[in-house]
Structure 1
Amino acid sequence: MKTITLTGHDIREAVTMHEAIDAVRRGFVDLAGGEFEMPTRTVLRDGQFLVMSAHHRSSASAMIKTLSLNFQRTPAIAGTVVWSETGRLDHLVADAGAVTALRTGAAVGVATDLLAAPEAGRLTLIGAGGQAPDQVRAVHAVRPLRQLTVVDADPQRARALLETLAPELAGVELLTATDAESAVQEAEIVCCATNATSPLFPASALPAQVHVNAIGAYRPTMRELPDELLADSTVVIDELDAVLEESGEIIHALEAGAISKDALTELGTALTAPAAEYGKRTVFKTVGVAMQDWAIAQLLAGKFLH
């Protein structure tokens, strides 16, 4: 029996964002096709501890992720991802923080590639925390950026993020801001990666055509987007049961009568449906599902175990 243990650095060295996006895209297609057993994640201590699992039927492989989450520490996410396959004694153990950031970014890359205007190149990122770098990398992978504005209440943290990303964004105009409402007014793509409990901006602040990704709110008490935006947009989600249980934005909008369940389209379904004409405003809301972690773990297993 062999156990491969991978650090965050190992994962970053082994997997490119383009590879992660392709793997997660295939995962969403398989999810829509019924290839996964995937219970809704176990949430303990109001979201401070999470347990997620997924079994991919056709490959007979499974992933279990356990993590603790604390926004008062750095890194905020700590834990492990364990991948195994029926019939094999070998298994893989990977750093949950790196896998989570990579797979969350990759899901945003998949959705942005599907929903954003082909020429979109101005990104406003709200939140400069641990998930932020991979949000930028994923969007840049599918919609090469001309301009990036990072919004954070702490200007120093926003500047530090831009310094980190600058070598990867040659030729991109890099800006910081502290006011989200003004920063989204000319954006073509918006990424929200915060732990906000109320909407970050009014729907009226956005241009007529824009794609918005919202990844930060993963509990019913958290919200990044206003009801009016969801009511006025094509809304694509990662998985229906997950968002109905965990997404503060979706729960609030449903209870307010701003949207109905019929207005929500799972990403896997959207990827496999005939090409559609989406509205000028599109939203991707994700709380994160175990399939995404499985997709990255499967990719790593292919590199290190096969």
Structure 2
Amino acid sequence: MKILSNADVAALLPMAEAIEVVDAVMRVVSAGGAQLPLRHAVPVGGRNMMGVMSGALETPHCYGVKLLSLFPDNPARGLSGHRGALVLFEPETGGAVAMMDAGLLTAIRTAAASAVATRALARPDATRLTIIGTGEQAEHHLEAMLSVRPVRALHVVGRRAEKTAEFARHAAARYPALTITHGIDVQEGVRGADILCTVTSSATPVVMGDWLEEGQHLNVVGASIPVKREIDDKAVLRAQVYTDYRPSFFAQAGEIVEMIKAGTLDEAHLKAEIGEVLAGQAPGRQQREAITLYRSLGVTAQDLAAAQHVLTRAIEDGRGQDVHF
């Protein structure tokens, strides 16, 4: 078995490669080439949870399980809010062939999934990006959006002015060609944006449908369990909605679960899985003025494909620690 650290994952899963890995596996998911039980969340004290995600893929042929601790107060300690491990198995004999850091892998594949959706749904000339949230996912989403659209201006919105300004300074140092502004007013951040990424841990809506403008594309990412939501009902109703995986969408997207239960939304409002759009089986953006929304829940298929990519590259490059059980 190969043991691969955070540093190994960082070196072996650059964003450009992660985007293509996720693009390919989402086509597999929508073609029925994956077994994906819904995420199981276990409370472990206070706001903390452990997520258990398992699955199997036909292409690449592998299966595995991800165990991820979700500790929202960790960033205040200088730690990632997502910590854990992914174990990858080979399908010939069922042996475990790799274990790797799951925190960074999750962050990269999540941002890569938003990039895949943005590449498929956002207007090609989208240049103005707003990121709502200032944590680890915000950093990776910035890199991901810059990889697929000609972004020239970034506006960052956060709850705390000091942390938001710090994020903006860091982004300016890394991407000096960007025009960067920041603030704590979400509505101001929505105004004039071409692409919006919500990457918060909010349990209540931070983006309102009344604020949205024609032609915008939204990646709604931060709320991955039914008790959380980042957008209000009107945002859902105004948008052409896409997702990664239908079963997750209808069981775990808080706003969708609530709206269907209330009778204000039916399942037909979902346009398609993103894999169906990528494969040409469903349309993406059909009008320049349309508002498109990608509701990301995160599926194990993305983790497995990314992990298999990391393992393949680790073998090629001789990285990681070999351990015999």
TM-score by length of 1: 0.94
| Partner residue, 1:22 | 20
The residue correspondences of 1:45-84 to structure 2 (distance < 5 A) are: 45=43, 48-73=49-74, 74-84=79-89
* Selected match of 2:32 from 31, 34, 44: 34
How far apart are the structure 1 equivalents of 2:87 and 2:251?
25
| Partner residue, 2:91 | 86
2:48–2:72 CA contact under 8 A, matched in 1: no
How far apart are the structure 1 equivalents of 2:167 and 2:305?
27
How far apart are the structure 2 equivalents of 1:54 and 1:187?
36
The Cα of 1:301 is off from its aligned counterpart by: 1.4
The residue correspondences of 1:144-183 to structure 2 (distance < 5 A) are: 144-183=150-189
* Selected match of 2:256 from 242, 250, 257: 250
The Cα of 1:56 is off from its aligned counterpart by: 1.1
Q: Which moved more, 1:143-152 or 1:267-276?
A: 267-276
How far apart are the structure 1 equivalents of 2:17 and 2:241?
26
2:86–2:99 CA contact under 8 A, matched in 1: yes
1:47–1:219 CA contact under 8 A, matched in 2: no
The residue correspondences of 1:267-282 to structure 2 (distance < 5 A) are: 267-274=274-281, 276-279=284-287, 280-282=290-292
Instruction: Say whether residues 1:132 and 2:138 are aligned partners.
Output: yes
1:66 is paired with a residue whose SS is strand
The Cα of 1:155 is off from its aligned counterpart by: 1.8
2:130 is paired with a residue whose SS is strand
2:249–2:256 CA contact under 8 A, matched in 1: yes
1:170 is paired with a residue whose SS is coil
Paired positions, count: 304
How far apart are the structure 2 equivalents of 1:154 and 1:58?
43
Runs of 4+ residues deviating >4 angstroms: 274-277
Q: 1:119-168 CA deviation, whole Å, 9 max, x = no partner?
A: 00111100101211111111110012111111001122222223333344
2:293 is paired with a residue whose SS is strand
The Cα of 1:201 is off from its aligned counterpart by: 2.6
Which AA in structure 1 matches 2:16?
H
The residue correspondences of 1:157-236 to structure 2 (distance < 5 A) are: 157-236=163-242
Which AA in structure 2 matches 1:20?
A
How far apart are the structure 2 equivalents of 1:214 and 1:58?
27
* Selected match of 1:290 from 300, 303, 322: 300
The Cα of 1:268 is off from its aligned counterpart by: 1.1
The Cα of 1:58 is off from its aligned counterpart by: 4.4
Which AA in structure 1 matches 2:260?
L
Instruction: Say whether residues 1:237 and 2:243 are aligned partners.
Output: yes
2:216–2:291 CA contact under 8 A, matched in 1: yes
How far apart are the structure 2 equivalents of 1:297 and 1:234?
31
How far apart are the structure 1 equivalents of 2:196 and 2:285?
20
The Cα of 1:9 is off from its aligned counterpart by: 2.0
How far apart are the structure 1 equivalents of 2:170 and 2:305?
26
Which AA in structure 1 matches 2:192?
E
The Cα of 1:47 is off from its aligned counterpart by: 7.0
How far apart are the structure 2 equivalents of 1:296 and 1:165?
25
Closer, same or farther: CA 238–82 of 1 in aligned 2, 3 Å: same
| Partner residue, 2:315 | 305
Q: 1:65-104 CA deviation, whole Å, 9 max, x = no partner?
A: 0011110112111110111212375712111110110010
| Partner residue, 1:13 | 11
Query: Which segments of 5 or more consecutive residues in structure 1 lack a partner in the other structure?
Result: none
1:24–1:292 CA contact under 8 A, matched in 2: yes
